[in-house]
Amino acid sequence: MVITLVPKNMATEGSRFQYFSSAPECGICNLRNVCHNLKAGAYYVVTKSREKEHDCFIHQGGKVYTVEVEEERRHLMIQKKVAREGAKVTYKYPECDDYDCKFANICILSFTKNQSKVKVNSIGENSCPRGYGLVEADVE
């Protein structure tokens, strides 16, 4: 469990989001260490919303709210030939442009950087319907 600050639209239990990075304007804020204590690129779910609100000059509405979050497991389509439980593999961005594919959100729209390292926790049953040799995997 991690305590962080989020805008009002994300401050309800069950809200899911991906953390990217801080805005340049956050550098002068006294709360930056609480807002930006998450891992870049990681996905989070709000597990508890607290009543405390703080002023914020970045987010719409001028407020952020204190919440408890947990990191969510991430799913990606990775190359089947390297997909082994426990393996640390280099994610390679697929050469595909099928944005209508049912796996596009964990494949070409995953926001995972090309050539980044991921650890494979488990292999799913789903494979690439276009025949690119990819399989769904739970990664961190």
How many angstroms separate the CA atoms of 45 and 122, rounded?
A: 20
82/115 same-domain check: yes
117/83 same-domain check: yes
Nearest to 112, CA basis, from 82, 89, 84, 131: 89
pLDDT tens across 100-136, in order? 999 988 888 777 888 989 999 999 999 999 999 999 9
The values of phi and psi at residue 82, to 5°, are -110, 0
pLDDT of residue 110: 77
pTM of the model: 0.61
Which residues constitute the domain of residue 15?
A: 2-72
pLDDT of residue 73: 79
60/90 same-domain check: no
* The two three-digit tokens of residue 127, written as one number: 């494979």
Weakly modelled stretches of the chain, pLDDT under 50: none
Three-point CA angle 73, 74, 80, nearest 5°: 125
Q: Do 34 and 4 meet the contact criterion of CB atoms below 8 Å apart? A: yes
pLDDT of residue 55: 94
Three-point CA angle 53, 57, 63, nearest 5°: 20
Domain count, the chain: 2
pLDDT of residue 109: 79
43/92 same-domain check: no
pLDDT of residue 68: 97
pLDDT of residue 140: 82
Q: Give the residue from 72, 103, 122 where a domain finishes.
A: 72
60/79 same-domain check: no
Q: Give the residue from 49, 72, 95 where a domain finishes.
A: 72
pLDDT of residue 51: 85
Say how many C-beta atoms besides its own lie within 10 A of residue 25's C-beta: 11
